[in-house]
Structure 1
Amino acid sequence: MSVVKKIGKVIGGVEEWVAMISFIAMVVVTIAIVLCRYVFKIEFMQGEEIARYLMIWCGYSGAAYCFRTHGHVGVVVFSEMLPASWHPCIKKIRNIFTAVIVIGVFFFACMCFNKYLSSAQLTTATRIPIAFIFIVIPISMALSVIHTITDVICDFMPNRKEPKEVTE
């Protein structure tokens, strides 16, 4: 299982970098849009489109990263009402349920991506293939599937260490 965790760590590093770089690029492009509009009095329509697509890349790569680090918001009110001895079982059920949902979203994202790919549609202002913009969705969902399945496998491994979850 240590090989899977190492691969997950490398993938997580890539996810983190893609999210950070796309976020920084989005901020820079947005500042450029504001400067062009209010300082130079010119429209920068391509910038608005680029910022929108960078936000998509940032959001989906960040979502996949959060699956690895357990950074997504979770509702624990129900599980906290039950005895502490039930918590490991509830966690296993939650991870299995999450894996099933993410697998379903992955297949739906692949179907949507195939439609974009077959349409050969281009974006309006920048003329970038729409498939290039939305390929991040099935990729991030595939990575999320890997992370959630790793969690499920770790749940059923004997003598496993509890992953650190964000509680803030």
Structure 2
Amino acid sequence: MLLRILDRLEEIIIAGLMGAATVITFITVVHRFLVSVPALYPYLFGINFGWSQELCIYMFIWMAKFGAAYGVRTGIHVGVDVLINRLNDRWRKGVILFGLAGGALFTAIVGTMGAKFVIELMGTDQVSPDLELPSWLVYACIPLGSYLMCFRFLQVMWAYYWTNELPHHDATHVDDIEVSAKAPISLGEA
């Protein structure tokens, strides 16, 4: 139950940030063009969207950190397994578990270093240039996203150890596309 809530929260954060950044960027671009219309200039010139670029950058950084954790959970995170798939089952399992443990260790270290950095920033009055957000708030995505990604590596590692199943995303599956023996790439056999 708790994992389902975490899964949905992760997806809501990613989709919400992506949607909000898209809307803010769209409004900023429309404003830029409409302000050049002489009749609208007096009304729109006073509206300042100088902060929008900084906000969208922060939103995309947060989205990337949480998106990486989502990628580990769903099996769409980048992985090179051409040689690993050629190993016998015993060696393959060991190498995969070692790789997942390495990912967990790396993200735990990054999360801990990020948490240390954020805690140090909390003691300062440093703010972002345009939005004047506390800098620790901007950088909080580093420990939060890294620890979430570490948890996802451990979650995948635990499941793989007991089931020999890794999460995977079937890139060859597209709704409403006919699969036939004449098109081996659509069956994932090429």
TM-score normalised to the size of structure 2?
Answer: 0.75
Q: Which moved more, 1:52-61 or 1:16-25?
A: 52-61
Q: How many residues align?
A: 161
Q: In the alignment, is residue 31 of structure 1 matched against residue 26 of structure 2?
A: yes
CA positional deviation for 1:84: 4.3
Residue 20 of structure 1: aligned partner: 15
**Partners of 2:111 and 2:143 within 8 A in 1:** yes
> Aligned partners of 1:18 and 1:132: how far apart in 2?
16
- State the SS of the aligned residue for 1:119: coil
> More helix by proportion, 1 or 2?
1
**Partners of 2:103 and 2:150 within 8 A in 1:** no
Which 5+ residue runs of structure 1 have no aligned equivalent? 1-5
Matches within 5 A, 1:3-152: 6-41=1-36, 42=45, 44-152=49-157
CA positional deviation for 1:73: 0.7
Of the two structures, which has the highest relative contact order with CA contacts closer than 8 Å and spacing of 6 or more? 1
RMSD value, Cα: 2.0
Post-superposition CA distance 1:43-64 (Å, at most 9, x none): 5211111111111121112112
CA positional deviation for 1:161: 5.8
Q: Which has the larger radius of gyration?
A: 2
Which amino acid counterpart does residue 130 of structure 2 have in structure 1?
A: A
Q: Percent identity?
A: 20
> Aligned partners of 1:141 and 1:7: how far apart in 2?
19
- State the SS of the aligned residue for 2:83: helix
> Aligned partners of 1:79 and 1:107: how far apart in 2?
30
Which amino acid counterpart does residue 111 of structure 1 have in structure 2?
A: K
- State the SS of the aligned residue for 1:10: helix
- State the SS of the aligned residue for 1:103: helix
Residue 3 of structure 1: aligned partner: none
Q: In the alignment, is residue 164 of structure 1 matched against residue 159 of structure 2?
A: no
